[in-house]
Chains A and B, each alone.
Chain A
Amino acid sequence: MADDKDVLRDVWFGRIPTCFTLNQDEVTEREAEPYYLLLPRVSYLPLVTDKVKKHFLKVMKAEDVEEMWLEYEGTPLKWHYPIGVLFDLHASNTVLPWSITVHFKFFCPLVAKKLQYRDLLHCTSNSVIEAHFMSSIKEADALKHKSQVVNDMQKKDHKQLWMGLQNDKFDQFWAINRKLMEYPTEEGGFRYIPFRIYQTMSDRPFIQKLFRPVSPEGNVHTLGDLLKEMYPAALPNDGEQKRYQVVIHGIEPLLETPLQWLSEHLSHPDNFLHICVIPTPTD
Chain B
Amino acid sequence: MPVSLLWAVDVYGRVYSLSTAGQQWEQCRDAQMEFKRVTAAQQCCWGIACDNNIYLNVHASDLPVRYQEETYENQRWNPVDGFSDRLLPSDRWQLSDVTGLQHQPLDNFRLPSSSWEWEGDWYVDENFEGEPTEKEGWSYAIDFPATYTKDKKWNSCVRRRRWLRYRRYKAMDTWAKIPSQQTTLPDPFSDISCGGWEINEEPRGRLSLWAVSLQGKVWFREGIYHHNPEGSLWEEVPLPGEVVQISCGPGDLVWAVLWEGQLIVREGIGRDCPKGTSWAMVDSPSPDVGATHVAVGVNVVWALTKDNKVWFRRGVNSHNPCGSGWISMVGEMIMINVGLNDQVLAIGSEDRAVYFRQGVTSSELSGKTWKVISVPRDGDRSHSSASAHSLQSAGCYFCGEVRAHCIITSSSPESFVDAPTEHSDQPIETPKSRIPKVTSDSFISELVSDRGPGKTSREVRSAGPAVLEEETIPLEGEVKAPDVGVSLSPSQSVGPLDPQWSNVDLEEAQGQQAQTGAVVDTADTSSLSSVATFTLAMEDPYGVDEHPMWAWVSGGGCSVDSHTQLNWFNSMVQSVQSMSLSVTPAQTAAWRKQIFEQLSERTKREMDNFRHYEQAIEQSVWVKKGTMQWWRDWKPHKWIDVHFALEQFSGPEGNKDGILFIYYNFYEEKKYLHAFVNEVTILVPVLNDSKHSFAIYTPERTKQRWPIRLSAATELEMHDWLALLSVSCCDSRGIQGPPSKQAIWSITCKGDIFVSEPSLSLEAMPYPTPCDQMFWRQVGGHLRVVECNSIGIVWGIGYDHTAWVYTGGYGGGFFQGLASSTDNIYTQVDVKNVYIYENQRWNPVTGYTNRGLPTDRYMWSDASGLHECTKTNMKPPSPHWTWVSDWTIDYSVSGGTDKEGWQYAADFPASYHGHKTMKDFVRRRRWARKCKLTTTGPWQEVPPIPLSDVTILPCAAQSSVDVVPLWAISNKGDVLCRLGVTALTPAGSSWLHVGTDQPFKSISIGAASQVWAIARDGSAFYRGSVSSQSPAGDCWYHIPSPSKQKLKQVSVGRTSVYTVDENGNLWYRQGVTPSYPQGSSWEHISNNVRKVSAGPLDQVWIIADKVQGSHSLSCGTVCHRLGVQPLEPKGQSWDYGIGGGWDHITVRGNSMEPPRVHLPSLTERTPLPVRNTEINSSAVGC
Asked if residues B594 and A254 are in contact (CB atoms below 8 Å), the reply is yes
Asked if residues A17 and B607 are in contact (CB atoms below 8 Å), the reply is yes
Asked if residues B591 and A4 are in contact (CB atoms below 8 Å), the reply is no
Q: What residues of chain A lie closer than 8 Å to B607, measured between beta carbons?
A: 14-15, 17, 38
User: Contact mask A242-277 → B, CB, 8 Å, 1/0?
Assistant: 000000011111101110000001100000000000
> Which of A16, A36, A178, A256 meets B818, CB within 8 Å?
A178
User: Contact mask A100-136 → B, CB, 8 Å, 1/0?
Assistant: 0000000000000000000000000000000000000
Q: What residues of chain A lie closer than 8 Å to B584, measured between beta carbons?
A: 256
CB distance from B461 to the nearest CB of A (A): 45
B583-597 CB contacts (< 8 Å) to partner A? 584, 587, 590-592, 594-596
Asked if residues A96 and B594 are in contact (CB atoms below 8 Å), the reply is no
Asked if residues A218 and B594 are in contact (CB atoms below 8 Å), the reply is no
B598 at interface (Cβ–Cβ under 8 A)? yes
Asked if residues A218 and B576 are in contact (CB atoms below 8 Å), the reply is yes
Asked if residues B606 and A36 are in contact (CB atoms below 8 Å), the reply is no
CB distance from A251 to the nearest CB of B (A): 4
Which of B587, B613, B615, B620 is packed against the most chain A CB atoms within 10 Å? B613
> Which of B576, B616, B737, B816 meets A43, CB within 8 Å?
B616
CB distance from B651 to the nearest CB of A (A): 15
Asked if residues A10 and B613 are in contact (CB atoms below 8 Å), the reply is no
Q: A176's closest neighbor in chain B, by CB?
A: B817
A147 CA to B484 CA, complexed, in Å = 61
Q: What residues of chain A lie closer than 8 Å to B606, measured between beta carbons?
A: 14-17, 96, 250
Q: A214's closest neighbor in chain B, by CB?
A: B577
> Which of B573, B592, B615, B727 meets A38, CB within 8 Å?
B615
A39 at interface (Cβ–Cβ under 8 A)? yes
Q: A251's closest neighbor in chain B, by CB?
A: B598
Asked if residues A17 and B610 are in contact (CB atoms below 8 Å), the reply is yes
B731 at interface (Cβ–Cβ under 8 A)? yes
Asked if residues B595 and A253 are in contact (CB atoms below 8 Å), the reply is yes
A168 CA to B648 CA, complexed, in Å = 13
A174 CA to B820 CA, complexed, in Å = 12
Asked if residues A48 and B594 are in contact (CB atoms below 8 Å), the reply is no
Q: What residues of chain A lie closer than 8 Å to B617, measured between beta carbons?
A: 40, 43, 47-48, 166-168
User: Contact mask A162-173 → B, CB, 8 Å, 1/0?
Assistant: 010011111110
Q: What residues of chain A lie closer than 8 Å to B598, measured between beta carbons?
A: 251-253
A65-120 CB contacts (< 8 Å) to partner B? 96-97
Asked if residues A220 and B724 are in contact (CB atoms below 8 Å), the reply is no
Q: B600's closest neighbor in chain A, by CB?
A: A10
Q: What residues of chain B lie closer than 8 Å to A251, measured between beta carbons?
A: 595, 598-599, 601-602
> Which of A2, A48, A167, A265 meets B622, CB within 8 Å?
A167
A237 at interface (Cβ–Cβ under 8 A)? no
A29 at interface (Cβ–Cβ under 8 A)? no
User: Contact mask A30-72 → B, CB, 8 Å, 1/0?
Assistant: 0000001111100100011101000000000000000000000
B491-520 CB contacts (< 8 Å) to partner A? none
Q: What residues of chain B lie closer than 8 Å to A49, measured between beta carbons?
A: 616
Q: A15's closest neighbor in chain B, by CB?
A: B607
Q: B819's closest neighbor in chain A, by CB?
A: A171
Q: A253's closest neighbor in chain B, by CB?
A: B595
B81 at interface (Cβ–Cβ under 8 A)? no
| Category for how many chain B residues contact A | 35 or more
A115 CA to B576 CA, complexed, in Å = 54
Asked if residues A37 and B594 are in contact (CB atoms below 8 Å), the reply is no
Q: What residues of chain B lie closer than 8 Å to A155, measured between beta carbons?
A: none
A184-223 CB contacts (< 8 Å) to partner B? 186, 188, 217-220
CB distance from B581 to the nearest CB of A (A): 8
B608-640 CB contacts (< 8 Å) to partner A? 609-610, 613-617, 619-620, 622
Asked if residues A163 and B622 are in contact (CB atoms below 8 Å), the reply is yes
Q: What residues of chain A lie closer than 8 Å to B594, measured between beta carbons?
A: 253-254, 257
A170 CA to B594 CA, complexed, in Å = 24
Asked if residues A38 and B610 are in contact (CB atoms below 8 Å), the reply is yes
Asked if residues B619 and A168 are in contact (CB atoms below 8 Å), the reply is yes
A2 CA to B591 CA, complexed, in Å = 13
Q: What residues of chain B lie closer than 8 Å to A178, measured between beta carbons?
A: 816-818
Asked if residues A171 and B595 are in contact (CB atoms below 8 Å), the reply is no
Q: What residues of chain B lie closer than 8 Å to A188, measured between beta carbons?
A: 577
Q: What residues of chain B lie closer than 8 Å to A219, measured between beta carbons?
A: 576, 580
> Which of A36, A186, A249 meets B602, CB within 8 Å?
A249
- Known contacts A38-B607, A43-B617, A256-B587; A14 and B822 CB within 8 A of each other: no
Which of A38, A48, A256 is packed against the most chain B CB atoms within 10 Å? A38
B277 at interface (Cβ–Cβ under 8 A)? no
A7 at interface (Cβ–Cβ under 8 A)? yes
Q: B595's closest neighbor in chain A, by CB?
A: A253
A175 at interface (Cβ–Cβ under 8 A)? yes
Q: What residues of chain B lie closer than 8 Å to A37, measured between beta carbons?
A: 613-616
Q: B610's closest neighbor in chain A, by CB?
A: A17
A188 CA to B592 CA, complexed, in Å = 18
Q: What residues of chain A lie closer than 8 Å to B616, measured between beta carbons?
A: 37-40, 43, 48-49, 51
Q: What residues of chain A lie closer than 8 Å to B580, measured between beta carbons?
A: 218-220
Q: What residues of chain B lie closer than 8 Å to A171, measured between beta carbons?
A: 727, 731, 818
A271 CA to B337 CA, complexed, in Å = 50
B603 at interface (Cβ–Cβ under 8 A)? yes
Q: What residues of chain A lie closer than 8 Å to B364, measured between beta carbons?
A: none
B823 at interface (Cβ–Cβ under 8 A)? yes
A175 CA to B723 CA, complexed, in Å = 10
Asked if residues B619 and A175 are in contact (CB atoms below 8 Å), the reply is no
Q: What residues of chain B lie closer than 8 Å to A172, measured between beta carbons?
A: 622
Asked if residues A218 and B577 are in contact (CB atoms below 8 Å), the reply is yes
Q: What residues of chain A lie closer than 8 Å to B599, measured between beta carbons?
A: 7, 10-11, 249, 251
CB distance from B175 to the nearest CB of A (A): 38
Q: What residues of chain A lie closer than 8 Å to B613, measured between beta carbons?
A: 17, 36-38, 97
A169 CA to B620 CA, complexed, in Å = 9
Asked if residues B614 and A38 are in contact (CB atoms below 8 Å), the reply is yes
> Which of A3, A36, A43, A265 meets B823, CB within 8 Å?
A3
A240 CA to B591 CA, complexed, in Å = 22
Q: What residues of chain A lie closer than 8 Å to B601, measured between beta carbons?
A: 251
A5 CA to B825 CA, complexed, in Å = 13
Q: What residues of chain B lie closer than 8 Å to A15, measured between beta carbons?
A: 606-607, 610, 615
> Which of A4, A163, A175 meets B724, CB within 8 Å?
A175
CB distance from A145 to the nearest CB of B (A): 17
A250 CA to B603 CA, complexed, in Å = 10
> Which of A38, A39, A217, A254 meets B576, CB within 8 Å?
A217
CB distance from A220 to the nearest CB of B (A): 7
- Known contacts A38-B613, A167-B620, A171-B731; A4 and B823 CB within 8 A of each other: yes
Q: B598's closest neighbor in chain A, by CB?
A: A251
Q: What residues of chain B lie closer than 8 Å to A48, measured between beta carbons?
A: 616-617
A3 CA to B821 CA, complexed, in Å = 7
Q: What residues of chain B lie closer than 8 Å to A40, measured between beta carbons?
A: 616-617
CB distance from B301 to the nearest CB of A (A): 34
A188 CA to B573 CA, complexed, in Å = 11
Q: B809's closest neighbor in chain A, by CB?
A: A3
Q: What residues of chain B lie closer than 8 Å to A39, measured between beta carbons?
A: 616
Q: What residues of chain A lie closer than 8 Å to B591, measured between beta carbons?
A: 253-254, 256-258
Asked if residues B614 and A5 are in contact (CB atoms below 8 Å), the reply is no
Q: What residues of chain A lie closer than 8 Å to B596, measured between beta carbons?
A: 2, 6-7
Q: What residues of chain B lie closer than 8 Å to A169, measured between beta carbons?
A: 622
Q: What residues of chain B lie closer than 8 Å to A11, measured between beta carbons?
A: 599
A253 CA to B818 CA, complexed, in Å = 24
B605 at interface (Cβ–Cβ under 8 A)? yes
> Which of B610, B727, B822 meets A96, CB within 8 Å?
B610
By Cβ-Cβ distance, the 8 closest A-B pairs, closest first, are A17-B610, A48-B616, A251-B598, A257-B591, A168-B617, A254-B591, A178-B817, A10-B599
Instruction: Pick 18 A–B contacts, CB within 8 A, sort by A.
Output: A3-B823, A5-B822, A7-B599, A14-B603, A15-B610, A17-B610, A38-B615, A38-B616, A43-B617, A96-B606, A171-B731, A188-B577, A249-B602, A252-B598, A253-B591, A253-B595, A258-B591, A266-B595
Other than the known A171-B818, A218-B576, what 11 A-B pairs have Cβ atoms closer than 8 Å? A3-B822, A4-B822, A10-B599, A38-B616, A40-B617, A49-B616, A96-B610, A166-B617, A251-B598, A252-B598, A253-B598
